[in-house]
Structure 1
Amino acid sequence: MKNRIIAATILIAGSGCVLPMAWGQSSGIKRTDLQQHNLSVPGREVVQVRVDFAPGVLAPNHSHHSEEIVSVIEGLLEYQLEGNPPVTLSAGEVLFIPTGTVHSAKNVGSGNAAELATYFVEKGKPLVEPSD
């Protein structure tokens, strides 16, 4: 089992599914890969990630080649989806982000904030696409 987890981690890193280096721990964002599994839909897989944000930290504009389902598990996060007013979510609230939608997320609380992000990914495509 441990070897499968290590292999999945290497596969994720090698396939471009990691967040850009600018979003690393030094920027106040910590990403923890939780699981990655093939789906019954050919060529698709599910990826789940926990993302922790230090107070005041922004994950800048980006998009995904898949739908994203966000569940806030701690703190207060403000999401800005292209073409929509910002929405602020607290622990227990959820958000659906359609494929290709440019968005950002910011911790607007005074403590740590965290989300559980679930992606339904087309295999071979990068998980995150930074935007200008």
Structure 2
Amino acid sequence: MKSCLIVDDSSVVRKVARRILEEMDFVIDEAEDGQEAMDKCRREMPDCILLDFNMPIMSGLEFLKLLRAYEGGTKPRVVYCTIEHDIGQIALALKAGANDYMMKPFDRAILESKFEVGA
């Protein structure tokens, strides 16, 4: 089974994403901010990460830069998730190492398409 770390300060977003991804046979872990996510990645690197842009303590972009510089941090597939419709923010995330992005609010079809096996 593949593992996915859902990183979002919204418990509702984490719950919705968890339900969908568990139905896709992912083993799920959650983090409320980038610092907690980095701590979890240092203990065990997930296969995939659903990463929110705007979070307290450490933003998604800060986390992504730290992750990609960390040993083994190039391995996870990272899908950057944002409510921002600013193409500049998306470009920064992709430049920092995000594999893909999606906008909030998302639905089941969008989330499934971003995390399909082989995606």
More helix by share: 2
Which is strand-richer, 1 or 2? Answer: 1
- Greater RCO, 1 or 2 (C-alpha within 8 Å, sep 6+): 1
Q: Larger Cα Rg: Structure 1 or Structure 2?
A: 1
Could you state the TM-score of these two structures normalised by the residue count of structure 2?
0.31
